[in-house]
Structure 1
Amino acid sequence: MQLASSGGRRLRHAALVAGKLALDTGRTVTRKELSAAARDAGKALDLRPAQRVVLSELVACWGEQEWERLLVWPSNDYLMNRTGLTERAIRRILRQLIDLQLIVPRDSPNGKRFAVKDLSGQVVDAFGFDLTPIYARRGDWAVMLMEQKQLREVQKRAFDEVTICRRATEEALSALAEHFPDLDRTELESRLKALQARTPTRSHVTLPADLLDAWQLLRTEAEETFYEAGNAGLGVRHLETNNGSPSETCNKGFPKKAGAVLQNEQTTEHLSPELILEACPTLRDYPKPIEDVADIVAAGRYLRASLSANESAWNEAVAEIGLVRAAVTVIYVLQLYDADVSSGEGRIKNPGGYFRAMARLVKAGKVDLSVELLAMRRRRMS
């Protein structure tokens, strides 16, 4: 049979695969449902704007007939008028949609697209394009969209961690320049500039695999350098029994204000093991009995890993607020994190970073651990 010049079409494997897809028996599809599936397909396959426009026009031609296949038969002239694209572009995009297993060509003997009507004028069949795969594969689109969402979330967390490391590194270098101007910072600053040059913007989909590790390593080394410089190579300073922190709680992003201490719950000059045990039942995770301050310190050092807190965060807390208060801060934050997880609120996304920030608030006098623990115990017993 001699075909017209417009009727030649090469056989494509994708068309055969898509042609085997079918609707459930007796299933009818509305134009709204088909449009929703087409939008999901466009997002899942990351179609270009021109491809989405042509696909949308094909879907708009669906007349909601109660057929087993979703057949449409718009001509290239119709699609050109509706989309503003050239005929060459229309032909190219149609081939691409076929290769993506979104549509299946259903060619007539002469290659034209038209409806087949019975003697009463009712449309009973058509030659054109079969849109059944768009709707039949809606489960595939849902899975692909979920995977894309998860990938975006992973990338967001990676970029967030890079930002945190960059700011912490810059803060450590700034502190070194302010407090120890004679210390050589050239190597750290050079690595910082190199990493900043390598780090892509958030508009990029992926982050180089080794980049986050490099940022975390640089942050750790910068903070260790500042820590060692502050201790003058003598190790951790001894604990002061009272840091004189005012009775002020932390603000936004941290626990709500504890409120005034009751008259029968006046703060002591030190944090007693009894108070900590009563306020923080998560301390039971420590495998040894708590009898004195030394046990509190050992428990804090042991439970630090439960917060996924970096050792540099522990060292910083010990250097800034002392060994005992650093341990108590670990236990206090662990109790807050446990309560947050149990409630399902999910406010504490990074318990290790939360611990570091809490220790800095204790140092700045914005958090009084005795007041917070007394309030926590009071709420638990009420």
Structure 2
Amino acid sequence: MQLASSGGRRLRHAALATRKLVLEAERTVTRKELSAAARDAGKALDLRPAQRAVLSELVACWGEQEWERLLVWPSNDYLMSRTGLTERAIRRILRQLIDLQLLAPKDSPNGKRYAVKDLAGQVVDAFGFDLTPVYARRGDWAVMLMEQKQLREVQKRAFDEVTICRRATEEALSALAEHFPEVDRTAFEGELKSLQARTPARSKVTLPADLLEAWQLLRTQVEEVFFEAGNAGLGVRHSDNNNGSPSEPCNKGFPKKAEAVRSTEQTPEHLSPELILEACPTLSDYGQPVRDLADIVSAGRYLRASLGAHESAWAEAVEEIGTVRAAIAVIYTLQLYEDDVARNGGESRIKNPGGYFRALTRMVKAGKIDLAVELLAMRRRRMA
């Protein structure tokens, strides 16, 4: 059967499904409530701008009548004047909104849209579009938006982990080139470039499932090669240098804290835990009381991972500037990074905190930076 040219439309399953959606008994929906539901629907269904514009204009036509259905009857000419779209585009978008179960058409005998009035001139019914589905499905929109939020959070954590693995891999390759240039890095560098080319921008919604595993595997392999090279290929974890009597405790002559402070390390008197606490509030992330320099060392060793710095960077810092200054350098770098993020709205100029910590250690050793002076200046800025 051929449809009439006066506006008849083909029957759609979605149109029948939306008719089964009803409002609560004696429920009057305001235009504000309907508009909020339409905005949520647009976000949940990821509507295109033109679709949102047409849906918004339909919602704006709701007159808040005390009806069982939310009926509106704007003409295509009206929608064209309000949205700037062509009539063909309006017709196409209306069909799409019906298929998405946002609208239910209510056709008149001649296919036109108009209101039905009683003898007193009051509108009692209408032929046009029923917006009841938009409001009745607001629970669906809430669930879909929550799922989308959870998906974005999962993707954010995945991209963050990829970034951590990439930086750690680059740091390990850099350390190999500096300390063990004889080690062949060609295969690792080729794999690094390949993974960088495969990694999409953060603006992409999804991350390939195998990509994160590939980054983690590459990081593990490169760090393992660096570890083995540092052990001269012997694969041993440590050497036993304790020549004392087996009956003597292994911690004889050392402080009772988690890590010892070497007796040869001379720390300025004004470089006190109180100064560090006042200059670097980030110490609160340690979660333990800080009373003396041994506690500072424990905190620095714990917070080192927050910088994304490899254990080799910590070992180098301890060897070059001493345990206490190494811990203070960790805390100082972490505070610099957090302050920079806070000042720049979530962005930091320190792109690689672990590499910054390694560079800071070398400048302290060379005498280019005095940690005590830097902490005093940081405290002064914070108090001001």
The interval holding the TM-score normalised by the smaller chain is 0.5 to 0.7
Question: 8 Å contact 2:31–2:62 — kept in the other structure?
Answer: no
Alpha-carbon offset, residue 115 of structure 1: 1.2
Alpha-carbon offset, residue 362 of structure 1: 2.8
Match of 1:319 in 2: 316
Alpha-carbon distance in structure 2 between the residues aligned to 1:273 and 1:220 = 42
Gaps of 5+ in 1: 237-267
Alpha-carbon distance in structure 2 between the residues aligned to 1:182 and 1:23 = 80
Which of 16, 20, 24 pairs up with 2:19?
A: 16
Q: How does 1:286-325 map to 2 (within 5 A)?
A: 300-301=300-301, 303-304=302-303, 307-308=305-306, 313-322=310-319, 324=323, 325=325
Question: 8 Å contact 2:117–2:123 — kept in the other structure?
Answer: yes
SS at match of 2:316: helix
Match of 2:251 in 1: none
Q: How does 1:155-304 map to 2 (within 5 A)?
A: 155-156=155-156, 158-163=158-163, 165-170=165-170, 172-174=172-174, 176-177=176-177, 180-223=180-223, 225-226=225-226, 229=229, 270-271=266-267, 276-279=272-275, 300-301=300-301, 303-304=302-303
Q: Give the alignment's Cα RMSD to 1 decimal.
A: 5.0
Alpha-carbon distance in structure 2 between the residues aligned to 1:111 and 1:104 = 14
* 2:30 aligned partner, one-letter code: T
SS at match of 2:124: strand
Which of 364, 367, 370 pairs up with 1:368?
A: 370
SS at match of 2:31: coil
| TM-score for the superposition, normalised by structure 2 | 0.63
For residues 103-125 of structure 1, the C-alpha deviation after alignment (integer angstroms, 9 at most, x for no partner) is: 22233456543210122433332
Alpha-carbon offset, residue 378 of structure 1: 9.0
Alpha-carbon distance in structure 1 between the residues aligned to 2:382 and 2:204 = 47
For residues 246-300 of structure 1, the C-alpha deviation after alignment (integer angstroms, 9 at most, x for no partner) is: xxxxxxxxxxxxxxxxxxxxxx96237995544456699569996x86x865665
* 1:84 aligned partner, one-letter code: T
1:119 aligns with 2:119: yes
SS at match of 2:310: helix
Match of 1:242 in 2: none
Gaps of 5+ in 2: 239-263, 278-282
SS at match of 2:128: strand
SS at match of 2:209: coil
Q: How does 1:352-367 map to 2 (within 5 A)?
A: 354=353, 357-365=356-364, 367=369
Alpha-carbon distance in structure 2 between the residues aligned to 1:374 and 1:49 = 54
For residues 196-223 of structure 1, the C-alpha deviation after alignment (integer angstroms, 9 at most, x for no partner) is: 2321233421112342343244345435
SS at match of 2:116: strand
Of structures 1 and 2, the one with the larger relative CO (CA 8 A, separation 6+) is: 1
Alpha-carbon distance in structure 2 between the residues aligned to 1:65 and 1:165 = 56
Alpha-carbon offset, residue 321 of structure 1: 4.7
| TM-score for the superposition, normalised by structure 1 | 0.63
Alpha-carbon distance in structure 2 between the residues aligned to 1:94 and 1:379 = 60
Q: Cα gap change, 1:369/1:171 in structure 2, threshold over 3 Å: closer, same or farther?
A: same
SS at match of 1:364: helix
